Amino acid sequence: MYDVLILGGGPGGYAAAIRAAQLKGKVALVEATDLGGTCVNRGCIPSKAWSRAAYLKYWIERAEEFGLKTTLQGWDLGTLVQRKNGVGHDIREGMKALLKKNGVDLVSGQGLLKSPKEVSVDGKIFETRNIIIATGSSPSIPLMAGLADLALTAEQVFDLEELPASVLILGGGPIEVETAAILAAFGTKTTLAVPERRILPLEDNGTSQRLTQALKDQGIEIIRGFKAEETIPAGDGIKARLGEKWVEAARVVTGARKPNTAGLGLETIGLKLNDDNSIPVNKRQETSVPGIFAIGDVTGGWMLSHAASTMGVVAAENVMGLEAVYRSQLVPRGLWTNPEMAAVGISEEEAGKQGIDINVGYFPYPVNGLAMVRGQVDGAVKIISEAQYGQILGVHIVGADATELIGEAVMALQLECTVDELAHSIRLHPTFSECLMDASRDAASWALYLPPR
């Protein structure tokens, strides 16, 4: 009898297994394919390998600005794919070793719930006191006539050793925007078809506008307010109708994802799903069935690997008798575009909807010394704070190293830091982190390096 059996060995399931084992639980982790889930094998890690290559290409082409005379001879995407695969392999091997050292039983196979206390794995029954469902998500390709074999998922893009001459990317969310930036960096004519009025509709409006301009500067066409309503064959590619406009492309790319809830036997235990087939949970990651927890992409929402890992820790601690809650407001978001984007907490628009009286602090990258030295002046930091006491409610960054800087903002929110406290802190000079301090000073109405309001 196990204390907990976990279905799925992605970032969430892996974190839950390790944490439960640390708390002296007897743990089994069931994985049907490869450890690491989407993140390690098809998502976060592969896309970051490609983003890094795009980043290096960009700076090699700009090296002469720094007095370095060099020429980019070209690129070998086969080598890049091999590197991506090698990194994934190393991470998986590390995960296996840590599971073994923590005494977690790794079970290969497809899990099926027979009851709240029994799981069948390829016909073998495992008994457990608790179950954590961490089965993740998978790509969702729209059923559109004419797509046939010309549709690619964002996952499949990162296995290509030769890129299509042109792509039409359906959607304006994080996956679609990051994929567009990567493909455009390597010379693919890229069009984003965004059904909403702006890209990244769930992020701060200023972030959306700034990234939109950056993407356009990189040659990406953005068509907003239309879904691809119809596709037809056109030569070796397709034509898609976006409102009154037809767009031609060699391939169509989609980043849409759906929770992996089918085939788990959830109906057997009476677990009802949300309309999008995700599993509803409370802040303890508990489902409606006692002893059954769910974490990560299978619960819907942002579908972020670090969110899944955090949920995994929360679920494991609750399984083992501790009291833990998942604080979604502390989950950061980020994109490895050029420039990068990162955010945590609420936006100015969300504060308005909630009726919160706020102050807004702003600091542009072009005023930052390191940004000027490095030639990375595209960006800004925006801080949202509660007006009466100055508590920081949200931080939004577009600019170099945004995905690293956001960690400091997460800690500020976690510790309920005020803009006055952050404004009176000290940063090494010259660094990008000074932008956070300077934006806080602006929110507190005493910016040192900006004109008076």
CATH at 350: 3.30.390.30
Instruction: State pLDDT tens for residues 267-299.
Output: 999 999 999 999 999 999 999 999 999 999 999
- Domains identified in the chain, total number: 3
Which residue out of 89, 396, 424, 429 is catalytically annotated?
429
Structure-model confidence comparison of residues 335 and 148, the more confident one: 335
Residue 245 belongs to domain with CATH number: 3.50.50.60
Reply yes or no on whether the pLDDT at 151 is more than 90.
no
Structure-model confidence comparison of residues 243 and 202, the more confident one: 202
Reply yes or no on whether the pLDDT at 188 is more than 90.
yes
pLDDT attached to residue 420? 97
Confidence of residue 228 (pLDDT cuts 50, 70, 90): confident
pLDDT attached to residue 244? 83
| 298 and 414 both lie in a single domain | no
| 235 and 303 both lie in a single domain | no
| 347 and 265 both lie in a single domain | no
Instruction: State pLDDT tens for residues 81-106.
Output: 999 999 999 999 999 999 999 999 99
| 306 and 390 both lie in a single domain | no
List of residues 6+ apart from 150 with CB closer than 8 A: 237, 238, 250, 251, 252
Respond yes or no: is residue 429 known to be catalytic. yes
| 18 and 133 both lie in a single domain | yes
pTM reported for the whole predicted model: 0.95
414-451: b or e for each residue (b if 16 or more CB lie within 10 Å)? Answer: eeebbbbbbbeeeeeeebbbbbbbbbbbbbbeebeebe
| 264 and 248 both lie in a single domain | no
| 411 and 427 both lie in a single domain | yes
Reply yes or no on whether the pLDDT at 235 is more than 90.
no
User: In what helix (H) or strand (E) does residue 452 lie, and over which residues does it extend?
Assistant: none
Answer whether residue 334 is part of any domain.
no
| 212 and 283 both lie in a single domain | no
What is each CA distance from 218 to 184, 213, 221, 319, 337, in whole angstroms? 7, 9, 9, 48, 11
Domain that holds residue 371: 339-443
Percentages helix, strand, coil for the chain (3-state, rounded to 5) are 35, 25, 40
Answer whether residue 305 is part of any domain.
yes
pLDDT attached to residue 241? 87
Question: Rounded to whole angstroms, how far apart are CA atoms 366 and 432?
Answer: 11
Q: Which of 375, 309, 370, 382 is nearest to 342 (CA)?
A: 382
pLDDT attached to residue 63? 96
Cβ atoms of 191 and 167 within 8 Å: the answer is: yes
Answer whether residue 24 is part of any domain.
yes
276-311: b or e for each residue (b if 16 or more CB lie within 10 Å)? Answer: eebbebeeebbbebebbbbbbbbbbeebbbbbbbbb
Residue that terminates a domain, selected from 281, 308, 328: 328
Instruction: State pLDDT tens for residues 19-51.
Output: 999 999 999 999 999 999 999 999 999 999 999
Answer whether residue 449 is part of any domain.
no
Reply yes or no on whether the pLDDT at 145 is more than 80.
no
pLDDT attached to residue 148? 61
Q: What strand order describes the sheet that includes 4-7? A: 105-108, 27-31, 4-7, 131-133, 292-294
